Structure 1
């Protein structure tokens, strides 16, 4: 072996040190790339499945942030009407999301459009769907009141999730779950808010001419921009939903759908991250299914605001109108009945 000079030895040591730094840099880079890929994969597929004694395909709830909710998940109904829908076999079921404490809104609806039970020989029924009260003080009193309401009216569906605006998507998906398992003979259902006027006669008239399968309609919004303003009530960050425009969706104040769509939406929910904006989330599920939304026969049937002039047979010409509050419904209902009796 030839003797190695001091300069050559120093050069060799520098080379080895550089080589070590290069290997370390490659290892760190590989780790960063792997972590990024894993995070992207989780955001696109936020759920895994685990065996369950009741359903081997049940999904583990995703990690929930401020803009998503814990769905799919195994929720339970603590107040239920397990047989009523099957026994009545209604043509149309009205599903009304409501807060547990809002007994007044439920009373007003029962005395207005919720009191319409037959239209053109078709049976119409309604149910209020709600979660558990978030109020610590008085929660027991609210639960006792709900139990009495359930016994008196038979229209309360209460599940064991926390009732809040953020959890409206959970409430909506539980609505689809309940309908899919309890109403085998029902043709259509409608999700309708408590602060909405509903003309049940016009709704049934429209449905008698509507498609019977894979059908959903209401005020259909297309090309809605995703709001990135953090001060907005409907802010969604890029990390949760990277697209700039939402797919078509029906505004949540009132949309109607055929019952065969419920199971398909539930199937899509296994693959679509549960955004907290419930009507947008239903639209995301519809896009996943490749099923288009249907516009109503007339663009003015589903109104998102109340015009200043509601004379000239206005209330008898529409299906829904968003009001300022559910309390306003009593006066609006009187106007509607007056117009209907006058021949409008």
Structure 2
């Protein structure tokens, strides 16, 4: 099967001033290479985007998948899909997740599948990184890659492309979990919760109810008033880890056509949920989804949660190994 090896010839970004403008011009060169396992995105026209603010992003009408596993969901029919956004060069995190919590394929009789979402690598070493990604894709068949520049400011685009892939290629699954690479996920507890969850209009996790827009230009989460005039965000599921029913991706994508996009991706999904008039569902227990923990926790603790942020890949491996020891955890 002919596969498209895509790379950016030129990228210019000027975002040094918070109130300024930046332009991301993508000119695509293409060369073909033989690949045995992936679908082809052919005939891609040249794409030029002009984005008027680094804090405002574009709904991805014209983004494509240059790596796709379009046949896996129809053939494997997962109940739960684990979706992990990850930097193109972060092979180490992908391997750790594959060998730990992402390695759960059948849980409580339900099929679980893992996929990673990537954008395009940055300009330094781009061709080599892309070749390595293609090789990794041939080996594991779990990489999804779209033709946007992978960056912090494009996290909203990355999330929307996760939703687009689920809506287009995996809509018959029941649920998905979006989780960052620094999360530990107890998939068994997640499936146990989902077996009793609503089948439609369902999203849960740590629900932030009083999020405020930062007006400090030095803040990582700064939003100017002309991009987001409100002072408070509607409730939103914090982006580290949240679960949702698979009727939502298509609805959220439709809402995204009508809601001005901001680069704070989890708050933006909350804005789309508000547009749809859909409320978040609180988890059965607030101890299930966790942020950073101040102190090391016991094996018993990790056996009872769904997710928690950890500080290193080594910690993820250690906790996974500990949980898999024989005998009761508590």
Same fold (TM over 0.5): yes
Secondary structure of 2:69's partner?
A: coil
Q: Show the counterpart of 1:94.
A: 82
The structural deviation recorded for 1:61 is: 7.1
Q: Show the counterpart of 2:117.
A: 129
Which structure's CA Rg is the greater one?
Answer: 1
The structural deviation recorded for 1:230 is: 1.5
Change (3 A) 1:327 1:160: farther
Counterpart contact for 1:131–1:163, Cα < 8 Å: yes
The one of 229, 240, 253 aligned to 2:227: 240
The structural deviation recorded for 1:240 is: 1.1
Q: Which moved more, 1:195-204 or 1:74-83?
A: 74-83
Q: Show the counterpart of 1:320.
A: 307
Partners of 1:262 and 1:301 lie apart in 2 by: 23
Change (3 A) 1:312 1:200: closer
Pair 1:341 & 2:307 matched: no
Secondary structure of 1:189's partner?
A: strand
Pair 1:261 & 2:248 matched: yes
Partners of 2:209 and 2:50 lie apart in 1 by: 28
The one of 196, 201, 226 aligned to 2:213: 226
Q: Show the counterpart of 1:80.
A: 68
Pair 1:170 & 2:154 matched: no
Partners of 1:168 and 1:64 lie apart in 2 by: 17
Q: Which residues of structure 2 form unaligned runs of 5+?
A: 1-47
Question: Which is helix-richer, 1 or 2?
Answer: 1
Pairs within 5 Å for 1:294-309: 294-309=281-296
Q: Show the counterpart of 2:203.
A: 216
Pairs within 5 Å for 1:190-209: 190-209=177-196
Partners of 1:143 and 1:309 lie apart in 2 by: 38
Q: Which residues of structure 1 form unaligned runs of 5+?
A: 1-59
The structural deviation recorded for 1:63 is: 4.2
The structural deviation recorded for 1:158 is: 0.6
Change (3 A) 1:64 1:333: farther
Name the Cα RMSD after superposition: 1.5
Please list the CA deviations of residues 136-178 of structure 1 after superposition, one character each: whole Å capped at 9, or x if unmatched. Answer: 2321111111111111111000110000011000000000000
Secondary structure of 1:219's partner?
A: strand
Please list the CA deviations of residues 34-57 of structure 1 after superposition, one character each: whole Å capped at 9, or x if unmatched. Answer: xxxxxxxxxxxxxxxxxxxxxxxx
Partners of 2:254 and 2:117 lie apart in 1 by: 21
Counterpart contact for 2:60–2:161, Cα < 8 Å: no
The one of 256, 262, 269 aligned to 1:275: 262
Pairs within 5 Å for 1:62-77: 63-77=51-65
Q: Show the counterpart of 2:271.
A: 284
